[in-house]
Structure 1
């Protein structure tokens, strides 16, 4: 017999969480009454939440009760993707850090932001960078973001270029025409650069990891204090690293579907 949760959840997020957590391998299908008993929530509350979860495919209503819906499986697959990307890129990132001594970051585009999924700190321990694993920065204000945007669908680029461009760092580009010109250069050269656009005192270079169709799957960037290195000299090392990863991506059908 499974005991109910020790404390009855109060917030709606907590209630949804405990309802979804009642499902397991041994009990993949549960009735509303059983869910209420296990969670300690009123039956009427459980019934109301289950209707909403069913409408959004987080649970599925069957003849025997409820089971986890397809939306949860889709989210689980999305959560697995960053792990697989880290596995794909980590050795290359480590080599790049050893070769340059700089901080190396792996990011993906989520909406109009760059989300960082791996960061390897370089030799400049005093370097303060705003990025953290799981953190996000507006794509137009970072080298990594510009590399991703340059190789994104036209609709994504138009959305960013048509949105207000707010200053994030001292030299953030807020002119859409100037940003569009930089994206064009990035598409041509394969490398995006940044000097104090995302944060004071930082310079970056970035190059995208590309799918077979030429769209960006992820991006690798290197970061250093302004004046410590010439990014135009070390930037090609990032490009060379991602070219090797591009070959791996093209040879693996899994990545083409992401």
Structure 2
């Protein structure tokens, strides 16, 4: 395939992937001309991509060439920690699904969103439930039980920062009133469990509890999700809290998650 054809057919993400893929342990530093030759991209296109990657520290200058930047190492470390968190939590998630029959989700707070890192589908009606969440997917923290559980474990100033932006409707029951959200967060701090009714998805209800590091800062949230028409989710609050407490003990016994 000619380079101009390749440039036309490949999207930007694919081009960036091609550029990053040419670096190896044997050849960690490459010039733009060599990157262009190896990827088959036009040199002008390669130069623009390399410049953009330098701006965000995905690449960094190295003599007359460039090499993989520190940001890529940080992301790789983050991905490894997320994998380790999933592995540690899977047993508790499976037990919680067995006990409740509901879909069980593990999520972490990234900036102002709750990001799903593992999902175990429930049984029966819960298995057929259509939910927007997917592994790697994001939902605003204020619009999901897992996010609210994590917010309740944060200092007030951090909660203020996360709730300072626009609060938009995600589901039919999304709470966009800051005063109501803050009252909910205060209640979650007392009870240890957060609840959601159609706030992130229509027809969905959810209960969640935060998973804490040894210093009591929130690491993640574990939650159960089911059809709002079929269940009273508050019946499962104690089961979710018990699962979170068990994970808290395991997290505190491990040094892996101290700075995740």
Give TM-score scaled by structure 1 length: 0.88
Does 2:100 match 1:100?
yes
CA distance in 1, matches of 2:38, 2:13: 17
Query: Where does residue 69 of structure 2 map in the other structure?
Result: 69
Tell me, yes or no, if the aligned pair for 2:3 and 2:41 is still in contact at 8 Å.
no
Q: Which structure 2 residue ranges, 5 or more long, are not aligned?
A: none
Q: How many residue pairs end up in the alignment?
A: 256
Tell me, yes or no, if the aligned pair for 2:81 and 2:256 is still in contact at 8 Å.
no
Query: Where does residue 192 of structure 1 map in the other structure?
Result: 194
Give TM-score scaled by structure 2 length: 0.88
Query: Where does residue 207 of structure 1 map in the other structure?
Result: 209
CA-CA distance at 1:246 after TM superposition: 0.7
Query: Where does residue 126 of structure 1 map in the other structure?
Result: 128
| Correspondences of 1:26-175 after superposition (within 5 Å) | 26-63=26-63, 65-123=65-123, 124=125, 125-175=127-177
Cα deviation digits, residues 112-151 of structure 1 (max 9, x gap) = 2222111111122332222222222222121111101111
Let me know the Cα RMSD of the aligned residues. 2.4
CA-CA distance at 1:91 after TM superposition: 0.5
CA-CA distance at 1:153 after TM superposition: 4.0
SS in 1 for 2:245: helix
CA-CA distance at 1:256 after TM superposition: 1.0
Partner of residue 6 from structure 2, selected from 5, 8, 26: 8
Tell me, yes or no, if the aligned pair for 1:103 and 1:119 is still in contact at 8 Å.
yes
| 1:167–1:54 Cα change, 3 Å | closer
CA-CA distance at 1:27 after TM superposition: 2.0
CA distance in 1, matches of 2:161, 2:61: 38
Q: Which structure 1 residue ranges, 5 or more long, are not aligned?
A: none
Cα deviation digits, residues 139-182 of structure 1 (max 9, x gap) = 21211111011113434311333333233333322221111011
Bigger mean CA offset, 247-256 vs 3-12? 3-12
Tell me, yes or no, if the aligned pair for 1:4 and 1:37 is still in contact at 8 Å.
no
CA distance in 1, matches of 2:64, 2:177: 58
